[in-house]
């Protein structure tokens, strides 16, 4: 075949090349190594595979598929490990039945130790690996390079630390979405390197695209929800989305979600590919059309709650950054701090203490399943004939106090725990806990509505009961959407439960919650994290500091760059080449007038010196430059899209400085530090 012949020639050529020069392609090894014959066979097979694969589509597509499949595998592996660790804890706790003291120690020490281990581990291996990771990912996607956030050690520290955090269970109440997005970008960075090695070209393009795709795969493989995964990553990470990434993102996310679901089928957990949280909403009349208003009101309520939550969170972050005791503890004794905080939380949630009102024996998944149960809790608990023990809300009702009161208590305490847990220096996600809190808020609202309607109904009316689970779904989407300033949780809630009949009310609630949360340019959860970590991320800096959008670029520049005048002779050029290491040197009219004319490449200057021409003018190129007076820092975000590596800043035509992306990063970092 043509492909075969091609490959053969290719092979021959490369063989010849390898005789004269050292290996150019990693698939070719040098001639001095042993086992020449077997290696040649392996090499030929590898080249043949590459040829076959390359004939179907570009190598990057295999990279995208591998990205999805790998992340799904990691997600599944993590789920299985965490489930086993949680089951071990549960087994130990049940075995100690009858001895409250032992049970107490089992309940509190198990999560404390796990979190302390997670904290020490991540502190010692890679101190950057704590927290969500989404703020770092979006900073990287905005064009700022942060290589230490993509290292292999970081990945292992994050993965193992996250397993420990999740194994601490619903006591600590943390999720895995954020770290998974981060893990995914790390895997993406490695895969893009691999693709470049195999392809030998298009380095930058693949690398940038792979990171965008990786961010989308993170969420998709976490829940097996491809569409909302892509949309969430788009909303959180970008300010301008290039549509050419759309197809790769969906492709990789679909691969990830498909593999994740197939793993659950193969492991025997499920019969077929299904939604993560099965629900049983009535299909005939999902909700009355007048309930739309109530859903809207719930959205506003969730928006208000999210504002309170973010305010508390911002305050506690500030407190831990300014209080000397906390500063000392969080820099030197991270493990001890984590252990102590988790012990405190576990104390509150101990089932023989306040835990009996908190359904603290449930895992996060069980909590969500219970909250999304379509039967009304209050009417069921009135009816004594129903087997209470089998109901999912039994954990809330077991203490004897009314279910609604118990649920309100649950909501309040969980929100406080969440604010506290967010200060823990462990790898953890904060999306899922907010989602569960939102579901509880919605459920409380829904139960209230159902109870009010129930009392107004006479028994002989033909009447379909109100479904409080619909409110729980809307509440979950609205609160998590409002906290993160995104709309995709609406779709996520639907993808997780498969309840498409509720699309419109859920979307409405999320929209209204977002409108309230975004009003007055309030920062989102990730903006607060970005600002607190002093990351050079322009959109969040803009929210933190009102004056940034109107700061002129000129004021932020350092000293004059090395420059050449139009009529520069060889001496001046030689000096410029010696003093500057930039690849582009700006050319001005004359040193007096300073009017920028363009730039010359360093390589051209070297050639100029070799041939000793008379003027640099001939080679000059002009590129994108910026008016310092008028253009502000805000515009630089858009200019990064144009893909220019160097920007010249002028004022009334006169050169006042040069910005490279490296310097741009420094400017943003300085701005971040100032706040």
In the bound state with a copy of itself, the residue whose beta carbon lies nearer, of 281 and 362, is 281
Classified as helix, coil or strand, 661 is helix
Which of 139, 631, 108, 174 has the alpha carbon at shortest distance from 422? 174
Cβ 591 to a copy of itself, closest distance in Å? Answer: 16
Cβ 509 to a copy of itself, closest distance in Å? Answer: 10
In the bound state with a copy of itself, the residue whose beta carbon lies nearer, of 124 and 239, is 239
In the bound state with a copy of itself, the residue whose beta carbon lies nearer, of 131 and 586, is 586
Cβ 307 to a copy of itself, closest distance in Å? Answer: 16
For 101, the token pair is: 């003291």
Task: Give me the long-range contacts of 515-523 (CB less than 8 A, separation at least 24).
Answer: 515/303, 516/299, 516/300, 516/303, 516/304, 516/306, 516/307, 516/482, 517/303, 517/306, 517/307, 517/310, 517/482, 517/483, 517/485, 518/485, 521/546, 522/307, 522/310, 523/310, 523/314
Contact 363, 406 (CB under 8 A): no
Which of 652, 630, 633, 654 has the alpha carbon at shortest distance from 563? 654
Cβ 675 to a copy of itself, closest distance in Å? Answer: 22
Alpha-carbon span 513 to 520, nearest angstrom? 14
Cβ 556 to a copy of itself, closest distance in Å? Answer: 18
Cβ 657 to a copy of itself, closest distance in Å? Answer: 13
Classified as helix, coil or strand, 168 is coil
Q: What is the DSSP string of 481-549?
A: HHHHT-SHHHHHHHHHH--GGGHHHHHHHHHHHHHHHHGGG---HHHHHHHHTT---HHHHHHH-TTGG
Cβ 611 to a copy of itself, closest distance in Å? Answer: 17
Q: Which region holds residue 539: left if phi is over 0, alpha if psi is between -120 and 50, else beta?
A: alpha
In the bound state with a copy of itself, the residue whose beta carbon lies nearer, of 138 and 154, is 138
Cβ 227 to a copy of itself, closest distance in Å? Answer: 6
In the bound state with a copy of itself, the residue whose beta carbon lies nearer, of 503 and 551, is 503
In the bound state with a copy of itself, the residue whose beta carbon lies nearer, of 275 and 388, is 275
3-state SS record for 299-342: HHHHHHHHHHHHHHHHHHHHHHHHCHHHHHHHHHCHHHHHHHHH
Give buried/exposed letters for 631-642 (b at 16+ CB in 10 A, else e): bbbeebbeebee
Task: Give me the long-range contacts of 12-18 (CB less than 8 A, separation at least 24).
Answer: none
Alpha-carbon span 8 to 389, nearest angstrom? 72
Q: Which uninterrupted H or E stretch holds 5?
A: helix 2-20
Contact 403, 447 (CB under 8 A): yes
Alpha-carbon span 28 to 150, nearest angstrom? 28
Q: DSSP assignment, residue 358? A: T
In the bound state with a copy of itself, the residue whose beta carbon lies nearer, of 8 and 246, is 246
Cβ 627 to a copy of itself, closest distance in Å? Answer: 6
Cβ 9 to a copy of itself, closest distance in Å? Answer: 25
In the bound state with a copy of itself, the residue whose beta carbon lies nearer, of 310 and 512, is 512
Alpha-carbon span 198 to 50, nearest angstrom? 8
Cβ 212 to a copy of itself, closest distance in Å? Answer: 13
In the bound state with a copy of itself, the residue whose beta carbon lies nearer, of 165 and 467, is 467
Backbone angles phi, psi at 562, to 5 degrees: -65, 130
In the bound state with a copy of itself, the residue whose beta carbon lies nearer, of 166 and 482, is 482
Cβ 535 to a copy of itself, closest distance in Å? Answer: 18
In the bound state with a copy of itself, the residue whose beta carbon lies nearer, of 80 and 275, is 275
In the bound state with a copy of itself, the residue whose beta carbon lies nearer, of 257 and 436, is 257
In the bound state with a copy of itself, the residue whose beta carbon lies nearer, of 463 and 500, is 500
Burial class (CB in 10 A: 0-12, 13-18, 19+), 665: middle
Alpha-carbon span 130 to 338, nearest angstrom? 12
Alpha-carbon span 338 to 111, nearest angstrom? 10
Cβ 638 to a copy of itself, closest distance in Å? Answer: 6
In the bound state with a copy of itself, the residue whose beta carbon lies nearer, of 186 and 258, is 258
Cβ 68 to a copy of itself, closest distance in Å? Answer: 11
In the bound state with a copy of itself, the residue whose beta carbon lies nearer, of 130 and 306, is 306
Contact 46, 27 (CB under 8 A): yes
Which of 395, 377, 367, 393 has the alpha carbon at shortest distance from 476? 367
Residue 99 CB partners (closer than 8 Å, separation 6+)? none
Cβ 226 to a copy of itself, closest distance in Å? Answer: 6
Residue 151 CB partners (closer than 8 Å, separation 6+)? 126, 186
Backbone angles phi, psi at 196, to 5 degrees: -65, -40
């Amino acid at each position: 075949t043509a492909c075969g012949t091609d490959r053969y020639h290719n092979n021959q050529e490369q063989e010849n090349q390898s005789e004269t020069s050292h290996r150019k392609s990693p698939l070719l090894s040098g001639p001095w190594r042993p086992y020449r014959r077997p290696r040649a066979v392996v090499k030929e097979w590898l080249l043949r595979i590459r040829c076959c694969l390359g004939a179907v589509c570009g190598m990057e597509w295999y990279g995208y598929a591998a990205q999805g499949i790998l992340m799904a595998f990691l997600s599944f592996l993590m789920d299985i490990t965490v489930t086993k660790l949680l089951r071990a804890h549960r087994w130990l706790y049940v075995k100690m039945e009858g001895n409250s003291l032992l049970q107490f120690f089992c309940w509190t020490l198990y999560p404390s130790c796990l979190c302390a281990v997670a904290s020490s581990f991540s502190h010692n291996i890679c101190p950057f690996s704590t927290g969500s990771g989404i703020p770092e990912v979006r900073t990287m996607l905005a064009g700022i390079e942060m290589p230490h956030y993509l290292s292999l050690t970081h990945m292992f520290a994050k993965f193992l630390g996250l397993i420990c955090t999740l194994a601490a269970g619903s006591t600590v109440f943390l999720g895995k979405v954020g770290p998974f997005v981060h893990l995914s970008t790390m895997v993406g960075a490695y895969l893009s390197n691999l693709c470049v090695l195999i392809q030998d070209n298009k380095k930058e393009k693949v690398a940038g695209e792979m990171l965008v795709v990786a961010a989308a795969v993170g969420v998709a493989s976490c829940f097996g929800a491809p569409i909302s995964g892509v949309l969430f990553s788009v909303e959180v990470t970008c300010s301008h989305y290039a549509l050419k990434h759309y197809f790769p993102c969906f492709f990789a996310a679909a691969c990830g979600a498909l593999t994740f679901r197939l793993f659950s089928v193969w492991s025997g957990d499920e019969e077929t590919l299904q939604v993560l949280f099965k629900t049983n909403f009535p299909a005939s009349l999902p909700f009355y059309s007048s309930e739309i208003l109530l859903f809207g009101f719930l959205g506003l309520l969730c928006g208000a709650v999210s504002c309170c939550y973010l305010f508390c969170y911002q305050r506690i972050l500030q407190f831990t950054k300014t209080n000397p005791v906390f500063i000392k503890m969080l820099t030197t004794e991270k493990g001890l701090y984590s252990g102590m905080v988790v012990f405190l939380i576990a104390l509150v949630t101990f089932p023989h203490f306040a835990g009996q009102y908190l359904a603290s024996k449930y895992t996060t998944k069980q909590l969500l399943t219970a909250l999304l149960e379509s039967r009304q809790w209050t009417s069921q608990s009135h009816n004594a004939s129903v087997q209470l023990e089998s109901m999912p809300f039994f954990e809330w009702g077991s203490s004897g106090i009314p279910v609604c009161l118990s649920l309100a208590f649950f909501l309040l305490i969980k929100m406080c725990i969440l604010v506290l847990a967010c200060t823990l220096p462990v790898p953890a996600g904060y999306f899922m806990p907010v989602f569960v809190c939102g579901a509880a808020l919605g459920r409380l609202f829904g139960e209230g509505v159902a109870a009010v309607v129930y009392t107004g109904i006479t028994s002989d009316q033909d009447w379909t009961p109100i479904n409080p689970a619909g409110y729980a779904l809307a509440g979950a989407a609205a609160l998590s959407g409002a906290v993160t300033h995104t709309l995709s949780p609406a779709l996520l809630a639907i993808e997780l439960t498969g309840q498409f009949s509720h699309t419109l009310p859920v979307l409405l609630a999320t929209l209204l919650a977002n409108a309230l949360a975004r009003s007055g340019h309030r920062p989102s959860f990730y903006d607060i994290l970005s600002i607190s970590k002093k990351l050079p991320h322009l959109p969040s800096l803009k929210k933190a500091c009102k004056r940034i959008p109107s700061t002129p670029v000129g004021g932020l520049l350092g000293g004059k760059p090395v420059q050449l005048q139009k009529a520069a002779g060889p001496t001046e050029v030689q000096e410029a080449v010696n003093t500057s290491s930039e690849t582009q040197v700006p050319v001005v009219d004359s040193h007096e007038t300073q009017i920028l004319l363009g730039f010359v490449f360093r390589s051209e200057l070297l050639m100029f010196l070799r041939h000793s021409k008379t003027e640099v003018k001939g080679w000059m190129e002009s590129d994108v430059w910026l008016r310092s007076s008028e253009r502000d820092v805000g515009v630089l975000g858009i200019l990064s899209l144009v893909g220019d590596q160097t920007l010249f800043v002028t004022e009334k035509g006169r050169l006042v400085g040069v910005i490279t992306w490296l310097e741009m990063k420094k400017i943003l970092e300085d701005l971040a530090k100032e706040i």
